[in-house]
Amino acid sequence: MRVYEDGGRGGLYSISKLNDHFIPCDRMHFNLTPIKVNNSTKLDEKGSYFRAPPASVLNKQPSHWFQGRHRGGLVIKCKAAIAWEKLKPLSVEEVEVAPPQKGEVRIKILATGVCHTDAYTLDGHDPEGIFPVILGHEGGGIVESVGEGVTSVKEGDHVIPLYIPQCYDCKFCKSPKTNLCGRIRATQGKGVMPDGTSRFTARGQKIFHFMGCSSFSEYTVVSEMSVAKVNEKAPLEKVCLLGCGISTGYGAALNTANVPDTVAALVEMTDGGCDYTFECIGNAKTMRQALEACHKGWGESVIIGVAAAGVEITTRPFQLVTGRVWKGSAFGGFKSRESVPKLVNDYMNGKVMVDEFVTFMKPLAEINEAFDLMHQGKALRTVVTM
């Protein structure tokens, strides 16, 4: 028997290990640390918050383990990597996470990828960049609590936050021609929740959200439109990458360019130009080169990389008049809430590669090293575990 102190509630809760599962006798032990106890043990009346168990432990829990064991309307104190200003290392420190409001979901993040888009904002290239902010948009976690009116997910569900929401009702969501959603775009771009406020506070001041996700925090709050329930058997430290990177590249070929057969397309590339090209680094020069490398009459060039603010692209009109197509792709063209669960199942069935893209695993305390590895070109993806 192991006993945990819940700093937020100030009580002792017993945990029994049975068949490789930690079965709680009372409340969830999020943010708890094991302590030695005896009959005379008394808790510190002041209470304090502790680091959460690692993803390797929480990933073993069955969904029902979490149901009914949340902090409800309480503010949660936890660790987060905060970007206080551009071009400065992230600061891992305590943050307060307010409870979810109507239509919102609070998630215990277990793992998150570090993406070039995070660096794009941190390095000051993002025209919508605003500080201080909690970055991260490639996370995986477990629902801790939900706000009023939330029906698509519940406490204990394994989920992936989505930087492209899906409300199902706006003209974008109803159109088969795009995967964009216009419902909460305005507020998301300003770093706040749909009601115009933030759920994060640190050092007594408001901390902004990022891309509707903010997965560089042990807990985050997102709109219900920005979360997808996924297979609970899937390892969150791997499938979190389906929240951005892998889906973006895979979908650009599968959906945006609609490549029928990758091998056949590669064979055809040498005969008068490429059938399909993909620009992935956000460089205007290579965007033009990728278009002009396409075969006239039917070649398609897809822009995936994000260029710096103010950068413009140019080409000769002749390139387009002669049948080449130039287009962009966000999140691989996938309708987020309906597609991500399917992608996770495809991964579980061996149809989508994910493991091969995880180069390093780092704890939250070493998140700046993850950025260094990315800038040095040493990592396809570094996954940070909480």
- CATH superfamily to which 61-243+353-385 belongs: Medium-chain alcohol dehydrogenases, catalytic domain (3.90.180.10)
Q: How much is the pLDDT for 260?
A: 60
Which residue intervals of the chain bear CATH 3.40.50.720? 249-332
Which residue intervals of the chain bear CATH 3.90.180.10? 61-243+353-385
- The residue-averaged pLDDT of 134-150 equals 97
Class of domain 249-332 as given by CATH: alpha beta
Residue 385 has pLDDT above 90, yes or no: yes
Instruction: Convert the pLDDT of each residue in 67-94 to its tens digit.
Output: 444 566 799 999 999 999 999 999 999 9
Instruction: Convert the pLDDT of each residue in 226-274 to its tens digit.
Output: 999 999 999 999 999 999 877 776 666 666 666 666 545 644 666 888 8
pTM above 0.85, yes or no: no
- What residues pair up with 133 in beta bridges, in sequence order? 83, 208
Q: Which residues are catalytic?
A: 115-117, 137-138, 167, 170, 173, 181, 185, 244, 381
95-99, 326-330, 374-378: range with highest mean pLDDT: 95-99
Provide the token pair at 48.
């304090």
Instruction: Convert the pLDDT of each residue in 327-339 to its tens digit.
Output: 998 888 888 899 8
